[in-house]
Amino acid sequence: MTGLRIIATGKQDASCVVTNDDLAKQVETNDQWITSRSGIRQRRFAAPGETTSSLSIGAAKAAIRSLEAQGRSRREIGAVLVATFTPSHLVPNTACLVQEALGLPEDLLALDLNAACSGFLAGLRLCQGLLEQTPGRLVLLIGAEVTSRVVDHTDRNTCVLFGDGAGAAVIAGDQDRPFWWSYGTRGNETVLSCPGIREDKGLPGPIAMEGKEVFRFAVEAIPTGIRAVLERSGTPLEAIDWFVCHQANSRILAHAAKAMGIPMERFYMNLERYGNTSAASIPIALAEMEEKGLLREGQRVMLAGFGGGLSWGAAEIIW
């Protein structure tokens, strides 16, 4: 199996910072209630004119700048994958619009994929397969969401959790960096869902969630995914330098860390500033970590996530 390496990252924040106090003006809630239950203090919402496509393009441009600073060319990119459940268009897909905006070669695969909050992890597995088939080419993988437009802003149980943004990674094949991956699916239409085009209104959304069931699922899914990957890789738990999980809820991550005996210091968390950005959360975190100089060559990084589907996944990469 082809190994892989993330060689460049980038992110694009949505423009509008929305604090818990801002939300308290429109729905019955307060900062203490939100923070104590989720760890979230603010999130970002897309401004008028900002879309999943524009955020994807912004994150991709940042990643391409990093790539080209290394002396490599965007013309090496052989595929663009965008993980999202909130695309700007059904057709054309977001990946095609990224290809156009960045002036990427036309002889590439441009594809959107929807695995909700697990989308970036599913995309990594697809990247591995594409890199096997097209040696010498790169894959641009983006996670992007504008969830603020598919939530019910009168429902305090959901509108306080979600945010908008995009993160991107340029991925290369690398036989010296093995890639181990695990993924699971437990089909369920009710626990966490977002309707598509509906017969009655013709519009998508809103997001519906059974909070207690999602919590139970998540605290099971994260350790399950991580343990499955470690069993395949043979890596001891203590050898993982960073755990970068889907940024959904601080209580979920704390519970999973305690269950596995992992110090919280090894979990990177930024959800207090971003909220749950679904497929964008892991790539935004990686881009932010790289900006801060937290990721060093040779470190072992465990990625883990869960989301609608229900789905979950984990991946061990070497930075």
Q: Which helix (H) or strand (E) holds 6?
A: strand 4-13
CB 285 within 8 A of CB 315: no
User: Would you call 117 a catalytic residue per the annotation?
Assistant: yes
Q: Which of 93, 127, 246, 249 is catalytic?
A: 246
Question: Can you tell me whether residue 211 is helix, strand or coil?
Answer: helix
User: Would you call 246 a catalytic residue per the annotation?
Assistant: yes
Contacts of 217 (CB under 8 A, 6+ apart): 186, 191, 306, 310, 312
Q: Which of 93, 117, 159, 245 is catalytic?
A: 117
User: Would you call 276 a catalytic residue per the annotation?
Assistant: yes
Q: Report residue 3 as tokens.
A: 């190994």
Q: How far apart are CA 212 and CA 217, in angstroms?
A: 9
CB-count burial class (<10 Å; 0-12, 13-18, 19+) for 187: exposed
Q: How far apart are CA 123 and CA 305, in angstroms?
A: 12
So which residues are the catalytic ones?
A: 117, 246, 276
